[in-house]
Structure 1
Amino acid sequence: MSEVRPLSDAVEAKPAALPLRSVLPAFALDVVLAITLSFSTLMLGLVGWAAWQGIRIAQQQGGAPDAQALQAQLGTPPVLFLIVTTLVSTGGTALVLYVWRRRATPVERRESHDRLRLPGTWGWALGAGLATFVFSTVMSASGRALGLDLEPSNLDLIRDGFARFPVFLALFAVVLAPLYEELLFRRVLFGRLWQAGWPVLGLVLSSLVFALVHELPGLNGKPLGSTVFLILVYAGMGAIFAWVYRRTGTLWAPIAAHILNNAIALAVLQVYGGAPV
């Protein structure tokens, strides 16, 4: 396999890491901004949908229904709306934070392009994608052997979405989600600490945030033991993606690994009716 150097010789050649007191606040601000932007966009979409449905129901009934009756008639948003809203809120947040906080320099873009020409880059990406799937499969099997509920919180949404909109759901889960997740969690969050000289800390913290976004305790409806185990699985997956990003020096490597993992997981879901995390 060809030798692949780190992302930027200029970054790696820094004589010393920046002090954590100046790095961690910037990382924390990235996280707070990501949560605020994503949640606000999601809530705006849900409120807009509820308002539209309320107007439609009122027009059908010839008057404004009382609040309890309206709530009962609203129901839940359709699956396609939820998927598109997730794409807009999280994907839009990733793009905003990339442009605002961690836009690649011309030197970084040139180096990333150069790394794409190396066969080793794609070898590492392939290996990382397979390793991620094997890791999640083994961990899931181990957790289920312990009697834990390890179905991802979004699994029902994925199943429903694939049953109704298979092409769009496949595009979303296999291509779009890996693109914006790697842009946010690896480029923006992990990349900030890596560039500051704290790659291991960046790997740990960005992977933990990645895991909590997927399975937040208290909101996923699962017992604490199952939630903690799922967080460990997602954190391990995030760590593999961060590692291959640093190993290859191009964000396209973890994107490719993430795409491969999701493609295999979605295929398993369709063949066997269940999927690893």
Structure 2
Amino acid sequence: MSEVRPLPDAIDAAPAALPLRSVLPAFVLDVVLAITLSFSMLMLGLFGWAAWQGVQLAQRNGGALDAQALQAQLGAPPVLFLIVMTLVSTGGTALLLYVWRRRATPVERRASFNRLRHHRTWVWALVAGLATFLFSSLMSAAGRALGLDLEPSNLDLIREGFARYPVFLTLFAVMLAPLYEELLFRRVLFGRLWQAGWPVLGLVLSSLVFALVHELPGLNGKPMASTVFLILVYAGMGGMFAWVYRRTQTLWAPIAAHILNNAIALAVLQVYGSAPV
């Protein structure tokens, strides 16, 4: 996991940008593949769970259940299954697209790890992590002052998961999610446009996709004003992570910043019962 092209400290010293008409189709294909792969894996997991549960219920009832009765007794998948499927579908998609579409060369990997020896890399990661949490906190406070519903769509799942599986949920939210999200949204999506000489456009578009994955209008059950506000917050967070990636030129910096942000947010959630986006 490394930057697409190692640069000197002057991050603006970049070659001429490639024509946008030759770059955007590859970016769009990355997004389409990400959606298709993650949705397919999630649906496959859900169908597998439903089929297994259906077999178990039919056996317990002597095979006498009809389709409607079976559907009524299935219920919702357990929280642990949903968390694992999120990890498998999104994390698996990130790994597949990294290997298939944006795999780092040995030179890039060495350059990335060399950046970890610079104390400035960790300073920028710390600053980005704290700034991201502060930004989301201030935006959440402002949104709630306006009467908006800014509770993230996955907050109930996180609460239930932490109540029942605190160690696994902490590992998932603080470590695993930042790893695969940075690999997908920053390395694959932002990195493609950055490498082509369009870093600002890459930051905007990859951050928007990052936001829509977290809060999709029409599917999160929230009013449009709340959804738009949440999208702005998540896009701002994604923009911060993309910025620190470009500033440090190693993917480990936004991963560290993301981990720090999530760790603080989870701690605040446990202490106060609510957390910023």
Q: What is the TM-score with the length of structure 1 in the denominator?
A: 0.96
2:206 match: 206
1:85 match: 85
| In structure 1, C-alpha distance between the alignment counterparts of 2:96 and 2:15, rounded to whole Å | 31
| In structure 2, C-alpha distance between the alignment counterparts of 1:7 and 1:215, rounded to whole Å | 32
| In structure 2, C-alpha distance between the alignment counterparts of 1:42 and 1:6, rounded to whole Å | 29
1:233 match: 233
RMSD: 1.5
| In structure 1, C-alpha distance between the alignment counterparts of 2:16 and 2:190, rounded to whole Å | 18
Deviations 1:19-68 (A, max 9, x none): 01110000000000000000000000000000000000000000141122
| In structure 1, C-alpha distance between the alignment counterparts of 2:5 and 2:117, rounded to whole Å | 14
2:107 match: 107
Unaligned runs of 5+ in 1: none
| In structure 1, C-alpha distance between the alignment counterparts of 2:158 and 2:65, rounded to whole Å | 33
Deviations 1:184-230 (A, max 9, x none): 00000000000000000000000000000000000000000000000
Aligned-pair CA distance for 1:254: 0.1
| In structure 1, C-alpha distance between the alignment counterparts of 2:81 and 2:43, rounded to whole Å | 13
2:34 match: 34
What amino acid sits opposite 1:200 in the alignment?
V
Aligned-pair CA distance for 1:8: 1.5
SS of equivalent residue, structure 2 residue 262:
helix
Q: What is the TM-score with the length of structure 2 in the denominator?
A: 0.96
| In structure 1, C-alpha distance between the alignment counterparts of 2:200 and 2:13, rounded to whole Å | 17
Q: Does 1:9 align with 2:7?
A: yes
Aligned-pair CA distance for 1:15: 3.4
Q: Does 1:267 align with 2:267?
A: yes
Q: 1:117 to 1:180 in 2, by over 3 A?
A: same
Unaligned runs of 5+ in 2: none
Aligned-pair CA distance for 1:9: 3.0
2:132 match: 132
SS of equivalent residue, structure 1 residue 220:
coil
| In structure 1, C-alpha distance between the alignment counterparts of 2:173 and 2:55, rounded to whole Å | 32
| Paired residues of 2:15 and 2:197 also in contact (CA < 8 A) | no
SS of equivalent residue, structure 2 residue 151:
coil
| Paired residues of 1:27 and 1:193 also in contact (CA < 8 A) | yes
| In structure 1, C-alpha distance between the alignment counterparts of 2:201 and 2:106, rounded to whole Å | 26
Deviations 1:86-108 (A, max 9, x none): 00000000000000000011111
2:142 match: 142
* Aligned length, in residue pairs: 273
| In structure 1, C-alpha distance between the alignment counterparts of 2:48 and 2:100, rounded to whole Å | 27
| In structure 2, C-alpha distance between the alignment counterparts of 1:81 and 1:48, rounded to whole Å | 11
* 67-76 vs 158-167, which moves further: 67-76
SS of equivalent residue, structure 2 residue 131:
helix
SS of equivalent residue, structure 1 residue 130:
helix
Q: 1:29 to 1:64 in 2, by over 3 A?
A: farther
| Paired residues of 1:94 and 1:181 also in contact (CA < 8 A) | yes
| In structure 2, C-alpha distance between the alignment counterparts of 1:64 and 1:187, rounded to whole Å | 52
**Aligned residues with identical type, % of pairs:** 84
2:95 match: 95
What amino acid sits opposite 2:239 in the alignment?
A
| In structure 2, C-alpha distance between the alignment counterparts of 1:41 and 1:268, rounded to whole Å | 32
Aligned-pair CA distance for 1:70: 1.0
